[in-house]
């Protein structure tokens, strides 16, 4: 069904002279064919997409990092900020889960660490981030053979992911960088592009609040929409509000694995917060507040 591809994606491919209804991004078709296909799109949809694009063109570019322990609300706030500022949302957790679901060697290696609540190695993360890019596929090839991914490739991979049209106005990195080594690699890459991180939002929260948030979370796997039995319940228990599809609980969302995830956060990710504090781009968010209050704080920090 055509509706599986968003109109905005179709218009982007038209911009590039491709057929916007062609699901195979690599196949190039003519602009006139694309225009003919667009005749099928409802005028009201076309107009609202054009208005959205016009609004987006007036937004300032933003390159953001959301950092915080598991359950602090990064994934809840990201879609709101993404829509408001027309950014792309790059979540390494989501990318790794997609790799796991695809049962590739990369995914199976990542699964082991994720199920235990440990961090996945830098090479695997970078390959997952970029698994749909040419360089990412090269990295996956190397890893599948047990070879190492070179630094040059690592830098190229993230660079390429950020070149995607949906990242044109900037990005939200959610769950990346998670170690100082990842932060340094990211900095190097952005420096070469003549750019840098504008703001890092630290979702600060006490560990004691997180068990209830994590054990009550339910997600809709294909969209990444997240719910909570107490704090953000779906209209019908166990069912996604938009698609009516079943919700699931993540395998690492239990009290025991949460302890390992928190330990990894305190030892490996907290130093990343200091790293950005020294660069004077860090803003602390009171992540223990109610979701709407957190949204207001985030919006204030980004205005
Ligand atoms: P990842 O998917 O990134 O998980 P995480 O960092 O543990 O973060 P979460 O998704 O659990 O929490 P969140 O802050 O997004 O919370 P949410 O908004 O959903 O990573 C998973 C694993 O992948 C890692 O453990 C690691 O193994 C691996 N990995 C990922 N990136 C990596 C990297 N770069 N390097 C190495 N390994 C990597 O909120 C949680 C719940 O609370 C929801 O139900 C929500 O409805 C509710 N909630 C949200 N805000 C509020 C509020 N203000 N009040 C009340 N309830 C709220």
For residue 69, pLDDT beyond 60: yes
Look at 131 and 251; give whichever has higher pLDDT.
Answer: 251
The average pLDDT across 176-204 equals 89
Q: What is the pLDDT of residues 35-58, one digit of tens each?
A: 667 778 888 888 988 898 889 889
C-alpha 70 – ligand 1 centre gap (Å): 4
Measured in Å, residue 4 CA sits from the centre of ligand 1 at 27
Nearest residue by C-alpha to atom 43 in ligand 1: 217
Distance CA 162, CA 190 (A): 10
Distance 261 CA to ligand 1 centre (A): 10
Neighbours of 59 (CB within 10 A): 13
Nearest ligand 1 atom, CA 68: 14
Nearest CA to ligand 1 atom 19: 75
Tokens representing 166?
Answer: 């949906």
Q: Do the Cβ atoms of 65 and 276 come closer than 8 Å?
A: yes
The three-state DSSP-derived secondary structure of 47-72 is: HHHHHHHHHHHCCCCEEEEEECCCCC
Please confirm, yes or no, whether 74 is among the known catalytic residues.
Answer: yes
- Compute how many other C-beta atoms are within 10 angstroms of the C-beta atom of residue 30: 11
Name the catalytic one among 111, 178, 185, 213: 178
Plot region of 145 (φ>0 → left; ψ -120 to 50 → alpha; else → beta): alpha
Residue in 62, 63, 74, 140 annotated catalytic: 74
H-run or E-run covering 152:
helix 151-162
Could you confirm whether 178 is annotated as catalytic?
yes
Angle at 121 between CA 146 and CA 119, to 5 degrees: 145
Cα(88)–Cα(172) distance, integer angstroms: 6
Supply 76's token pair. 């809840």
Tell me what the pLDDT averaged over the chain comes to: 81
Lowest mean pLDDT among 159-163, 204-208, 232-236: 159-163
Rounded Cα distance between 223 and 240, Å, is 10
- Residue 64 phi, psi (nearest 5): -120, 150
Q: How far is the CA of 274 from the centre of ligand 1 (A)?
A: 20
């Amino acid at each position: 069904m055509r509706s599986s591809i968003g109109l905005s994606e179709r218009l982007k491919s038209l911009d590039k002279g491709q057929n916007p209804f062609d699901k195979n991004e690599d196949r190039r078709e003519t602009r006139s064919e694309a225009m003919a296909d667009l005749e099928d799109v409802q005028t009201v949809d076309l107009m609202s997409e054009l208005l959205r694009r016009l609004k987006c063109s007036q937004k300032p570019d933003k390159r953001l990092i959301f950092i915080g322990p598991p359950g602090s609300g990064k994934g809840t706030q990201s879609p709101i900020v993404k829509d408001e500022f027309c950014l792309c949302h790059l979540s390494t957790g989501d990318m790794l889960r997609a790799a796991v679901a695809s049962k590739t060697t990369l995914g199976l290696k990542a699964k082991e660490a994720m199920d235990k609540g440990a961090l996945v190695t830098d090479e695997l993360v970078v390959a997952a981030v970029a698994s749909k890019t040419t360089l990412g596929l090269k990295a996956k090839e190397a890893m599948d053979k047990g070879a190492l991914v070179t630094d040059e490739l690592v830098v190229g991979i993230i660079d390429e992911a950020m070149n995607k049209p949906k990242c044109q106005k900037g990005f939200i990195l959610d769950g990346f960088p998670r170690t100082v080594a990842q932060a340094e690699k990211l900095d190097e890459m952005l420096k070469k592009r003549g750019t840098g991180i504008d703001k890092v939002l630290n979702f600060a929260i006490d560990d004691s609040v997180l068990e209830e948030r994590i054990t009550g979370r339910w997600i809709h796997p294909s969209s990444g929409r997240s719910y909570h039995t107490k704090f953000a319940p779906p209209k019908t228990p166990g069912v996604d509000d938009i698609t009516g599809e079943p919700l699931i609980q993540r395998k690492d969302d239990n009290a025991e694995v949460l302890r390992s995830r928190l330990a990894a956060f305190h030892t490996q990710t907290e130093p990343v917060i200091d790293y950005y504090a020294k660069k004077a781009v860090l803003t602390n968010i009171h992540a223990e507040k109610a979701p709407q209050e957190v949204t207001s704080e985030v919006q204030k920090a980004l205005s």
